[in-house]
Structure formats: structure tokens, C-alpha cells
């Protein structure tokens, strides 16, 4: 089994939408179709700070990482925020998620970004057992108001 991580390409659209739908189903949420379209288009918009890496298993896209880079008041380089990470259930437990995480760490180092951070649900045991191998949780909790 060969796992390759690469930038998203326009021809990933159909497959990415399947993976995205499965990711939203995992969280039990719906995202307006227009927002999904907007997210997809922003990945390829040079003016946007949203970007995506795709994990291929033996040539087939089986996972993705969507991330955003932004400035920070405590750093001079960029912060990299991992917003969405997903691996097709059929490809899980084979190192694909770890390959996506390792790839982001490498991207940060190669681009001189200052930090990589992300959130997850407290009870997402599977994701947390992956994340705990990179770094301890920094103990912050999130507050968010939706408007």
C-alpha cells in the first residue's frame, strides 16, 4: 500500500465532495451547499488562505486535510490552523491520517510557519490518540458565538 500526500487538484472535486459529505456525516452536521462550493473554490483561489492536501492510497484519493494560514500577535511567522481532517473509513488504521499530519508538520517547517494548531472534540478518542502522539493538548477551551 502506497500513501502519497499532495496538493488538491481541480480534478479531485467529485471525490473530495464524497469525502466531505462523509466527514460532515461523521459530525452529524450539514453545511449549506453554497458554502461547500465556496470552500472548494477558495482552495484554488490565490487570494484565499484556505488550502488542502489530499492523501492518495495506491493512487486513489482517500483523505484530506484542509488548513488555513494566518498572522498571529504572538509570532512573527504564520500560524497554520488545521480545520478539517478526514480519512475514508475504508482506509483507516493504515497510517493515512498520520501521513496527513506528518505532511502538515513538514509544510510548516519548510515554509517557516511558526505554529500548527487544531481543535477536536474532547470525546473524539480516535483522533485524540493520533494527536497525542504529536503534542499534549495545551489546555485551552474554545468559546464561539455564531451570528
Ligand X SMILES: CC(C)(COP(=O)(O)OP(=O)(O)OC[C@H]1O[C@@H](n2cnc3c(N)ncnc32)[C@H](O)[C@@H]1OP(=O)(O)O)[C@@H](O)C(=O)NCCC(=O)NCCS
Residue 91 DSSP class = G
Query: What is the C-alpha separation between 7 and 28, in angstroms, rounded?
Result: 27
Residue 127 found at the interface with ligand X (CB under 6 A): yes
Residue 124 found at the interface with ligand X (CB under 6 A): yes
Q: CB 9 → ligand X: shortest distance, Å?
A: 21
Using the minimum distance from each CB to ligand X, give the nearer residue, 42 or 94. Answer: 94
Query: What is the C-alpha separation between 25 and 19, in angstroms, rounded?
Result: 10
Residue 31 found at the interface with ligand X (CB under 6 A): no
Would you state the cell numbers that stand for residue 48, as one nine-digit string?
484565499
Residue 92 found at the interface with ligand X (CB under 6 A): yes
Residue 37 DSSP class = H
Candidates 12-20, 46-54, 72-80, 84-92: pick the segment binding ligand X (CB under 6 A). Answer: 84-92
CA angle 16–92–122, rounded 5-degree value? 90
Query: What is the C-alpha separation between 113 and 59, in angstroms, rounded?
Result: 29
Candidates 4-12, 68-76, 122-130, 134-142: pick the segment binding ligand X (CB under 6 A). Answer: 122-130
| Positions in the binding site for ligand X (CB under 6 A) | 26, 85-87, 92-98, 120, 124, 126-127, 129-130
Amino acid at each position: 500500500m502506497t500513501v502519497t500526500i499532495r496538493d488538491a487538484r481541480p480534478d479531485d472535486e467529485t471525490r473530495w465532495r464524497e469525502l466531505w459529505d462523509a466527514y460532515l456525516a461523521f459530525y452529524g452536521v450539514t453545511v449549506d451547499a453554497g458554502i461547500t462550493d465556496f470552500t472548494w473554490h477558495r482552495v484554488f483561489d490565490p487570494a484565499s488562505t484556505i488550502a488542502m492536501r489530499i492523501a492518495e492510497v495506491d493512487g486513489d484519493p482517500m483523505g484530506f486535510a484542509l488548513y488555513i494560514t494566518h498572522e498571529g500577535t504572538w509570532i512573527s511567522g504564520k500560524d497554520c490552523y488545521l480545520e478539517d481532517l478526514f480519512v475514508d473509513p475504508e482506509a483507516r488504521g493504515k497510517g493515512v491520517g498520520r501521513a496527513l499530519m506528518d505532511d502538515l508538520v513538514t509544510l510548516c517547517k519548510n515554509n517557516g510557519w511558526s505554529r500548527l494548531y487544531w481543535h477536536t472534540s474532547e470525546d473524539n478518542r480516535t483522533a485524540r490518540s493520533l494527536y497525542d502522539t504529536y503534542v499534549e493538548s495545551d489546555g485551552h477551551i474554545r468559546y464561539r458565538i455564531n451570528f
